[in-house]
């Protein structure tokens, strides 16, 4: 953390132009240092946007998790025209040295109830943005939502295309909130110590002005800030110490009803502020390697299976929030549409589809293992992978009364080869429609999107729409003679068919 603060001081002393250069450099170094993977985003051709770097470093794809602590405050300083006040250590540093909230450090405190509600006066349900006939949205990270320039660009994208919904971070995978919350436990945790969005009501008002449906993304159980402050609510080891995953991140116990209550109060506040829908992310147990999972103890398990634990949380969410009228939705691994089990994380399709209003499988082709459904490189077959995954989900939902709407996350970023150009993004949208579905959301960790794969506001589709099935070029067939074996005598290797 001392290194991060030193870098931040350097940023604040630099000119605005120098800040942007430093941010880009630090981001590149950090990204290259983590698993050798750099997520190349589909963007508008502009580079060096430090706000985008912060969102990319903060969110999801966990390849950049370890860089988030350094990148977020640097990006914030680069975004501001004047030096920003020091807001303290970054909660994104989720390793063993994660700092507890300042208000709790060094003394025993009396914790407020996780069920204590926010005093926010609710926006009447009739004044929330109505759900579109078919949600077609984009993910907007907290940093991007809080930047007037970036938000204006994203709203312009929606005005000019078929985009009609924004999924905005409320609580991300660091445990931090993107806005100044009035939920008592959040205040005590200092979870809003570094609000990315200065005026959340103003942002929601702007979205309403443009008819954009706002969805609150809340990361439920990957919450290192809460796990550090309330270790008795965390996943533990047999000796009572707090368990950490292979990246050094603490998780809270998804069986713990106090953890449920805290997340539900955040959701209740988001709805009160004017969000029209709540989306649970990381509504699952960790997916760490077995060598780490073998140490896990869930203090509140009480003999329940992981599947029953996740189902119980969704049921409780429905009981507590159903009266608000806001749909409750959940992100799930893409493989859950096809796997006949909980894939080791508590997500079983049939046990979620009858409770949630919407399930959002993350059917990113880059995340499927080589050889999936006969494709050597699934990432090179976006239409085929997405179509098959979604057809599995559709088929499994047919016999479920009142089954959740299936609204997949679509890959709008590059991870490995090939680069995800607009044609690759549209190929996945083609697959959604051909699977019999109508809704989707684009995911790009830096909240950078191209208009090219999208239908325009006046109904003009890109020239390559409907051709996604033909984007995939199968590899050439194997030669009749395996060249790893000795070539027959008298036959040149070059002549083998």
Mean pLDDT of the chain: 82
Instruction: Tell me what the mean pLDDT of segment 111-117 comes to.
Output: 97
Angle between helices 50-58 and 148-160 (to 10 degrees): 80
Q: pLDDT digits over 245-257, tens only?
A: 999 999 999 999 9
> Higher-confidence residue: 6 or 342?
342
4 has a pLDDT exceeding 60: no
The mean pLDDT value for 200-204 works out to 98
Q: What are phi and psi of 291, to 5 degrees?
A: -60, -25
Determine the Cα–Cα distance for residues 395 and 400; give it in Å rounded to an integer.
10
With 80 as the cut, is the pLDDT of residue 389 above it? yes
Phi, psi angles (nearest 5°) of residue 134 = -140, 120
Please report the DSSP string for 143-211 in residue order: HHHH-HHHHHHHHHHHHHBS--EEEEEEE-TTS-BSS----HHHHHHTTTSS-S-S-HHHHHHHHHHTT
Percent of the chain with pLDDT over 90: 73
CB atoms inside a 10 Å sphere around CB 324: 18
Task: Give tens-digit pLDDT for 73-109.
Answer: 344 333 332 222 222 223 333 332 334 555 454 457 8
**134-470: CATH number:** 3.20.20.80
Lowest mean pLDDT: which of 4-8, 49-53, 172-176, 357-361? 4-8
Summarize pLDDT for 33-72 with one digit per residue, the tens. Answer: 333 333 333 333 333 355 655 565 555 443 333 333 334 3
In the chain, where the domains are located: 1-84, 134-470
Is-contact 328 280, C-beta < 8 A? yes
The neighbour count for residue 137, using CB atoms within 10 Å, is 26
* CA–CA distance, 41 with 115 (Å, rounded to integer): 40
Gap between the Cα atoms of 379 and 369, Å rounded: 9
396, HSE (Cβ side, Cα atoms, 13 Å)? 23
The tens digit of pLDDT for each residue in 396-443 reads 999 999 999 999 999 999 999 999 999 999 999 999 999 999 999 999
Q: Rounded mean pLDDT of 167-191? A: 98
């Amino acid at each position: 953390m001392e290194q991060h603060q030193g870098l931040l001081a350097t940023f604040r002393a630099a000119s605005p132009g120098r800040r942007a250069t430093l941010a880009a450099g630090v981001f590149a170094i950090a990204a290259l240092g983590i698993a050798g993977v750099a997520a190349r985003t589909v963007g508008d051709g502009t580079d060096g946007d430090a706000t985008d770097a912060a969102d990319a470093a903060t969110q999801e794809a966990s390849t950049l998790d370890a860089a988030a602590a350094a990148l977020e405050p640097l990006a914030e300083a680069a975004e501001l025209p004047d030096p920003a006040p020091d807001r303290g250590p970054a909660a994104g540093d989720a390793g063993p040295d994660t700092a507890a909230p300042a208000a709790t450090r060094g003394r025993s405190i009396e914790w407020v109830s996780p069920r204590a509600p926010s005093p926010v006066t609710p926006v009447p349900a009739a004044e929330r943005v109505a759900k579109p006939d078919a949600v077609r949205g984009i993910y907007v990270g907290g940093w991007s939502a809080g930047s007037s320039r970036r938000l204006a660009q994203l709203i312009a994208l929606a005005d000019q295309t078929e985009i009609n919904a924004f999924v905005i971070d409320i609580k991300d995978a660091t445990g931090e909130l993107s806005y100044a919350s009035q939920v008592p436990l959040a205040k005590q945790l200092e979870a809003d110590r570094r609000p990315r969005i200065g005026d959340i009501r103003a942002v929601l008002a702007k979205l309403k002005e443009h008819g954009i449906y706002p969805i609150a993304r809340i990361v439920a159980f990957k919450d290192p800030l809460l796990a550090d402050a309330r270790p008795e609510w965390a996943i533990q080891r047999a000796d009572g110490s707090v368990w950490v995953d292979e990246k050094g991140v603490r998780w809270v116990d998804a069986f713990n009803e106090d953890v449920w209550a805290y997340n539900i109060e955040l959701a209740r506040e988001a709805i009160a502020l004017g969000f029209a829908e709540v989306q649970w992310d990381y509504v699952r147990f960790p997916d760490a390697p077995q060598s780490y999972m073998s140490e896990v103890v869930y203090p509140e398990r009480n003999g329940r299976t992981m599947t029953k634990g996740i189902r119980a949380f969704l049921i409780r969410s429905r009981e507590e929030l159903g009266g608000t009228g806001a749909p409750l939705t959940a992100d799930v691994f893409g493989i859950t549409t096809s796997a006949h089990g909980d894939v080791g994380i508590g997500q079983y399709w049939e046990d979620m589809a009858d409770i949630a209003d919407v399930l959002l499988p993350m059917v990113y082709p880059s995340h499927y293992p080589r050889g999936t459904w006969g494709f050597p490189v699934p990432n090179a077959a976006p239409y085929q992978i997405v179509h098959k995954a979604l057809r599995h989900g559709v088929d499994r939902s047919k016999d479920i009364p009142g089954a959740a709407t299936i609204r997949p996350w679509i890959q709008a970023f590059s991870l490995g080869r090939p680069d995800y150009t607009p044609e690759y993004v549209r190929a996945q949208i083609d697959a959604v429609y051909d699977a019999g579905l109508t809704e989707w959301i684009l995911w790009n960790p830096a909240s950078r999107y191209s208009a090219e794969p999208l239908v325009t506001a006046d109904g003009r589709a890109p020239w390559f729409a409907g051709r996604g099935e033909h984007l995939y070029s199968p590899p050439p067939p194997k030669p009749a003679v395996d060249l790893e074996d000795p070539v027959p005598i008298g036959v040149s290797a070059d002549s083998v068919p």
